[in-house]
Structure 1
Amino acid sequence: MRILFLDLDSVSPRHLGCYGYHRNTSPNIDKIAEKGVRFNNYYTSDAPCAPSRTALMSGQFGIRNGLVGHGGTAGDMKLEGVNRNLFGRLSVGGSLPSFLQLGAGLNTTLISPFPQRHATYNFYAGFNEIINTGEFGMESAEQVSPVVRDWLERNAEKDDWLLYVNYWDAHTPYRAPEIFGNPFADEPLPEWASEETLGKHKEAVGPHTVHELVIDHNGNTYTNVESEKFPRSPGEIKNMDDLRAMIDGYDCGIRYLDDHVGRLFALLEEKGILEDTIIIISADHGENMGQLGIYGEHGTADDGTCRIPMIISWPGMQQGIVDDGLHYHLDLPVTLAEMLELPASPDWDGRSYASVLKEGKECGRDYLVVSQCAHVAQRSVRFGDWLYMRTYHDGYHLFDKEMLFNLKEDLREEHNVAEQNKNICMEATYYLHEWHDEMMLKSGDDVDPLWTVMKEGGPYHAKGFLKNYGERLVQTGREHQFNELKQKHPSEFPEENVEARAAFTRAMMKNLF
């Protein structure tokens, strides 16, 4: 058995041809979809990068494994505690790679810098061989592919391997080399990309909205200063030319990595094993391209960020079909266990969709709960035509506490209809509470890491930014938005809280004396 798992960071299904995108971004991926199964409603349980991959590899929701953020206590998995044995759960079949290593007898190889990028060293558990491409996720495909090709030249014809590969070209900053050109320069933009939409998005506020697309680590804020090193990534979207640059930069990143994975498929075909290799193509998260007014980021618990591609080409199984059921990415380990006729770990939270691969029989869930705690703190419920979003920390975007979108009518999340559909919101909160109760009972402790994030000052990518970002808002004529943000986040300005309390006390004492 051979398994090639391509983890394409930040690739949204909405920008792949096999998912209906009008641009030819993914001809090689599309060919694999034609002979496999394409999952249309496939979601990461926890976004973005580190929470997503930790949930996949551990088989557990972030609320259980503990890793839901990119820093602080919730940037690490929960300790196993007094029940931890000599090897630990992840080492002996509790992680996806260790399960395939010990249960299926595969030699498992990881080609990725991801564990070092996010210090998620638990991600290594179960890989026989680890090849760190060494640039913390800033690699381009021309740096990754030679490493993959070298490994395949040495190992492809063996029949007992899993090769897990990360490509990063669709992740900001968009970095397809200049020599690649722009194959989309003369192609129309998506229908939604209009002057009207851009005008609306100019009213939005917060990181990675049209006025501030770049993080300035030195100034501890978000800005519009572009990098000469990454000309495909604009710092600000002022007009339709800038909007085109943003969308073209992303699409070029996808097409560039697609060219490279196509060469890998050609190598497998040359060696006569392409038709005998299980190929899995997915991503850790998608990419917001205007949804909620956010561009070039994966920082919310919405459809743009959390819906991901999943394409599985399994020799001898269903070919050329589309599944519309609701699935989590952490359903994969349980599915592989059933496909391989092996017992699944009792610690996993997933539900098998092997019947889709074997028979084309739909077996989706009634609803999904997806979470984001690195840029904002949100939990959302995806059910029927609806996406219900509940915000605990808005990451300085002025999001409403409750948002509801009818994805059938409003796929791009432009119209919050929560106020007009309280009954739908109540149904969603019922699902959210049912899921939360189940997860907390299974966790074995009383710690919900979302609230750990909140108690430690908020999401990592928003922590401490408001004062400096507020100065930028004032300097650029948006003081009213800064004032709104201050009202929503008074704890960011303790000196003003002290003065407000003192003034209140003086007023009360005046009445007393």
Structure 2
Amino acid sequence: MRVLFIDIDTLRPDHLGCYGYGRNTSPNIDSIADEGVCFDNYYCSDAPCLPSRAALITGQCGIRTGVVGHGGTAADMRPWGPEREFRDVRSMGSLFTQMRRAGLYTISFSSFPERHTAWWFNAGLNECHNCGGVGHESAEAVTPSVLEWLKSNGKKKDWFLHVHYWDPHGPYRTPEEFGNPFENTPLPDNWIDKERFQEHLQHVGPHGANEIYMWNDKADPNYPRYPGKLENLKDVKYFIDQYDCGISYADQHVGKILFLLKEMQLYDEELAVIVTSDHGENLGELGIYGEHATADMATGRIPMIIKWPGGLKGIHDFELHSNIDLLPTLRELLDIENKPAMFKHMEIPEGHYDGSSYAKTIRTGEKAGKKGVIISQCAHVCQRSVRFDEYLYIRTYHGGYHLFEREMLFDVRKSTHELENIAEKYPELCEKAAKILLDWQDDMMKKSQYQIDPLWTVMKENGPYHIHGQLEAYIERLENTPRKSKIGKLRKQYRTEL
């Protein structure tokens, strides 16, 4: 069989038409959804880019692989240890290696391994194509090579093709000639009103409205779609327009691949197509703009669309799932358990994967969700969250110089934008979520040969990577702003770092 895996970085599902978005950002992706299953409550176990793809590729949470951040010890995959055989079981159990075990020739077009020095990503790949700019390239640098490969090899019977687009990732880099097709289209979900934006202007912490470029408002002339600051609601709309442009531009390139597949008569019932992302994007949620900086719905929720031979078409599943579930799901769909291992002594041991299969949902619509999923973020902040029932619980260990409460609880039925922290109103719900989190941590520690939680490794190494050494200079910047009154609270919350 043939499998096309579309991996679009920083893609929020609620900005896709097939997930209900009111703008025409994704007609090509929507067409895939019409022929498959959309998973509406799908999350990355670890955010952002590096930890998320480590989890996707290994089928294991960051608390086990050790990859939970973007720098320091917790940005590297832990060695397997004294039990390591001639080949280590994590790479043998990885996504691409398992696809090879299924008899598929594996190809990836992505600069992700070079961007994050994450060469474990390539385990099991027959071909690795580095498309250019260490994650700063746009889709036009990727698509021609993909199309050329398909023209030369597409008619071969068994392949798994991974195509990675960065376009919605900041700084928003859609080519100037694309324009702004959304300039005259209102925001479908205009939740940021004048009063809310005034609150955002008072926000303290990196990537707020006053400091889109993390710690200052200096725009990069190389990225005119990504301003240094937002001063009014017109600026907010413009900013979200640019994010949507990135999605639309990537979608057009997805369309080019689909067009060629149809032209070659390869887009048929036997072709599987998967569309997903590594994480979402804060677009005002928790006062943050243009960054995937938290363990919340904005960053943690991702699309998962699967068109599968013999699978259901045009349905939505609302059960809770995580990106660590994809590998077990594909193993079941491809019947990998009953296929010989590439090396006899490297069978995957029971309990190796942290996720669980939802293959039956794709085949029959039967529910296969979880009672709760955990989202971890240790690159910009140190947070762990629990998505359970109709709630999102966030526990903050290090706020990344934002003034977050230790516990936050949001009712996602009322809003997915985290507008009201109801933790004090409902302590019993916080206790329920905290127990889910604690039980999960205990289970992961029992499975880990290291029994060291990498979140605390990050904490010991001066906190999240992206905030290292910035606090004093940021406080100095705040001295000359209307937010000066919040410096005392900032100093108190982070006094040990001054």
What is the TM-score with the length of structure 1 in the denominator?
0.93
**1:126 corresponds to which residue?**
124
Structure 1, residues 170-211: CA drift from partner, whole Å, max 9, x if none?
000111111111110100123213222211211211111101
Q: What residue in structure 1 maps to residue 13 of structure 2? A: 13
1:451 pairs with 2:456: yes
Q: CA deviation at 1:479?
A: 2.3
Residue 509 (structure 1) aligns with: none
Paired residue for 1:261? 254
Report how far residue 148 of structure 1 moved.
0.9
Q: Look up the match of 2:185.
A: 187
Counterpart of 1:294, as a letter, is I
Task: Work out whether 1:360 is the aligned partner of 2:359.
Answer: no
User: Post-superposition shift, 1:315?
Assistant: 2.0
CA contact (8 A) 1:234 1:245 kept: no
SS of 1:487's equivalent? helix
What is the match of residue 330 of structure 1?
324
Residue 301 of structure 1 aligns to which amino acid in structure 2? A
Q: CA deviation at 1:335?
A: 0.4
Q: Tell whether the 8 Å contact from 2:44 to 2:375 is kept in structure 1 after alignment.
A: yes
State the alpha-carbon separation in 2 of the partners of residues 481 and 277 from structure 1: 56
Q: Aligned to 1:311, what secondary structure does the other structure show?
A: strand
Separation in structure 2 between the aligned mates of residue 446 and residue 323 of structure 1, nearest angstrom: 35
Alpha-carbon distance between aligned partners in 1 of 2:95 and 2:249, rounded to the nearest angstrom: 29
Counterpart selection for 1:440 from 439, 442, 445: 445
Distance of 1:199 and 1:18 partners within structure 2:
32
Query: Does the alignment pair 1:25 with 2:13?
Result: no
- Which residue pairs with 1:99 in the alignment? 98
For residues 415 and 103 of structure 2, the distance between their equivalents in structure 1, rounded to whole angstroms, comes to 46
Aligned residue for 2:236?
Answer: 243
CA distance in 2, matches of 1:349, 1:10: 23
Give the corresponding residue for 2:52: 52
Q: Give yes or no for the alignment of 1:205 onto 2:204.
A: yes
Matched with 1:288 is: 282
The amino acid of 2:153's aligned partner reads N
Q: Deviations over 1:307-347 (max 9, x none)?
A: 00000011221101100000011101100111111226631
Return 333-342 or 41-50, whichever deviates more: 333-342
What's 1:404 paired with? Answer: 409
Distance 2:255 2:306 in 1: 16
1:405-461, Cα deviation, whole Å (9 max, x unpaired): 000012210100000000000000110111011000000222100000000100001
Contact (CA 8 Å) 2:384, 2:395: kept in 1 or not? yes
Q: Is the 8 A contact 1:90 1:125 kept in 2?
A: no
Q: Which residue of 2 aligns with 1:469?
A: 474
The one-letter code of the counterpart of 1:201 is: H
Per-residue deviation at 1:371?
A: 0.4
**Equivalents in 1 of 2:52, 2:474: separation in Å?**
28
Does 2:61 align with 1:73?
A: no
For residues 332 and 230 of structure 2, what CA distance do their matches in structure 1 show?
Answer: 48
5 Å-filtered alignment, 1:38-49, equals 38-49=38-49
The residue identity in structure 1 corresponding to 2:373 is L
Give distance in 2, aligned partners of 1:473 and 1:34. Answer: 49
Contact 1:278 1:312 in 2 (8 A): yes
| Cα distance in structure 2, aligned partners of 1:54 and 1:481 | 37
Deviations 1:466-498 (A, max 9, x none): 1111111112242222221111111221xxxxx
Residue 363 of structure 1 and its aligned partner are, at CA, apart by 1.1
Tell whether 2:28 aligns with 1:34. Answer: no
Aligned equivalent of 2:301: 307
**Greater Rg, structure 1 or structure 2?**
1
Is the CA contact (8 Å cut-off) linking 2:202 and 2:483 kept in structure 1?
Answer: no
Post-superposition offset of 1:464: 1.2
The answer to whether the 8 A contact 1:90-1:98 is kept is no
Report the counterpart of residue 499 of structure 1 in structure 2.
none
The 2-side partners of 1:76 and 1:475 are apart by 39
The number of residue pairs the alignment matches comes to 485
Residues 1:384 and 2:383 are matched in the alignment? no
**Conserved in 1, the CA contact under 8 Å of 2:204 and 2:483?**
no
Deviation string 1:80-134 (CA, Å, 9 cap, x unpaired) is 1111111112342x10101111x21111111101011011111111111101112
Distance 1:134 1:175 in 2: 14
Offset from partner CA, 1:36-90 (integer Å, 9 cap, x none): 0000000000000000000010110000010000000001011111111111123
1:234 is matched with: 227
SS of the residue 1:56 aligns to: helix
Cα distance between partner residues in 2 of 1:324 and 1:156: 34
RMSD: 1.0
**Match of residue 160, structure 1, among 143, 147, 158:** 158
Give the counterpart letter for 2:139 in structure 1.
Answer: A
Q: Mean alpha-carbon deviation: is it higher for 274-283 or for 190-199?
A: 190-199
Listed as ranges, the matches of 1:467-506 within 5 Å are: 467-493=472-498
The 1-side partners of 2:146 and 2:303 are apart by 22
SS in 1 for 2:142: helix
Residue identity opposite 2:45 in structure 1 = S
In structure 1, what residue type is equivalent to 2:252? D
Give structure 2 stretches of 5+ with no counterpart: 338-347
Letter in 2 for 1:202: L
Identity among equivalent positions (%) equals 51
Residue 335 of structure 2 aligns with an amino acid whose one-letter code is E
Matched position secondary structure for 1:99? helix
Runs of 4+ in 1 over 6 A off after TM superposition: none
- Which deviates more from structure 2 when the two are superposed, residues 155-164 or residues 481-490? 481-490
| Partner Cα separation in structure 2 for residue 13 and residue 304 of structure 1 | 9
AA of the residue aligned to 2:256: R
Mean Cα deviation higher: 344-353 or 428-437: 344-353
C-alpha contact 2:132 2:141 (8 A) present in aligned 1:
no
- Residue of structure 2 equivalent to 1:112: 110
TM-score (norm 2): 0.96
SS of the equivalent of 1:223 reads coil
Q: Give the whole-Å Cα distance in 2 for the aligned partners of 1:420 and 1:194.
A: 25
Q: 1:246 to 1:345 in 2, by over 3 A?
A: farther
C-alpha separation between the residues in 1 aligned to 2:222 and 2:492?
38
Partner of 2:312: 318
Moved more, 185-194 or 25-34: 185-194
Alignment check: 8 A CA contact 1:233 1:245 kept: no
Cα distance in 1 between the residues matched to 2:139 and 2:52? 22
- Report how far residue 139 of structure 1 moved: 0.6
Query: Any idea what SS the aligned residue of 2:466 has?
Result: coil
CA distance in 2, matches of 1:138, 1:390: 32
Answering whether residue 433 of structure 2 is matched by residue 428 of structure 1, we say yes
Q: Say which SS state the counterpart of residue 162 (structure 1) adopts.
A: strand
